[in-house]
């Protein structure tokens, strides 16, 4: 399809009565931009998680910055062979961009291996999990709308012990997520 034909088709579709576009404008709670430096979190400092994945999370853009429309986190992965249980976000789409390292994701019934520079989209209501395959790694995590994932990270970082599977399941539920299965198995069982 030629570019002009494509553009005309899009505008015709958007002008069709009854058509609602999925595109949204992100609401901003601030009246100016901001910068978050490398290795820093905008809010909460470094959130050191315990349990399912003992990693460090930095909030780069908080849901409070966008009136709940968007949240962005940087995750420094410190736990090879560990990851999340299979879970669902009923109201949020999630995007992971791998900055460094290697990860595996399960999305629905499919599995994907991701390395630095690759991105994966996890649609709301689709069960998914990930596991860190490399010794170290870093990912950018984007949630739209923001939901309560930031609250989940704050709760996990506030624990003084490694949570049991039941505690993890409860914390997921309290923060608009549902655990629906076990974590992925490591490629190398000795990890």
The answer to whether residue 20 scores a pLDDT higher than 80 is no
Instruction: Give the three-state DSSP class for 77.
Output: strand
Which token pair is 92? 């949020």
Residue pLDDT, tens place only, 139-189: 999 999 999 989 988 998 888 888 888 999 999 999 999 999 999 999 876
Residue pLDDT, tens place only, 39-83: 889 888 888 886 555 688 899 999 999 999 999 999 998 889 999
Residue pLDDT, tens place only, 110-138: 999 999 999 999 999 999 999 999 999 99
128 contacts 178 by C-beta, under 8 angstroms: no
For residue 13, the model assigns a pLDDT of 46
Residue pLDDT, tens place only, 6-16: 455 545 545 54
Which token pair is 75? 């995750």
């Amino acid at each position: 399809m030629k570019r002009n034909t494509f553009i005309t088709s899009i505008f015709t579709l958007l002008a069709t009565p009854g058509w609602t576009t999925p595109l949204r404008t992100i609401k901003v709670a601030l009246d100016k931009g901001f910068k978050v430096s490398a290795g820093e979190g905008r809010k909460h400092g470094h959130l050191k998680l315990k349990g399912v994945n003992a990693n460090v999370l930095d909030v780069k853009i908080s849901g409070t910055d966008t009136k709940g429309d968007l949240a962005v986190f940087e995750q420094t992965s410190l736990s090879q062979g560990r990851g999340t249980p299979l879970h669902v976000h009923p109201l949020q789409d999630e995007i992971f961009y791998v900055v460094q390292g290697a990860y595996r994701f399960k999305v629905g019934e499919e599995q994907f291996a991701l390395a630095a520079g690759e991105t994966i989209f996890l649609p709301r209501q689709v069960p998914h999990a990930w596991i860190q395959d490399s010794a170290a790694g870093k990912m950018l995590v984007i949630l739209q709308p923001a939901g309560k994932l930031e609250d989940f990270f704050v709760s996990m970082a506030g624990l003084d012990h490694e949570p049991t599977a039941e505690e993890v399941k409860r914390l997921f539920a309290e923060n608009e997520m549902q655990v629906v299965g076990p974590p992925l198995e490591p490629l190398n069982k000795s990890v």
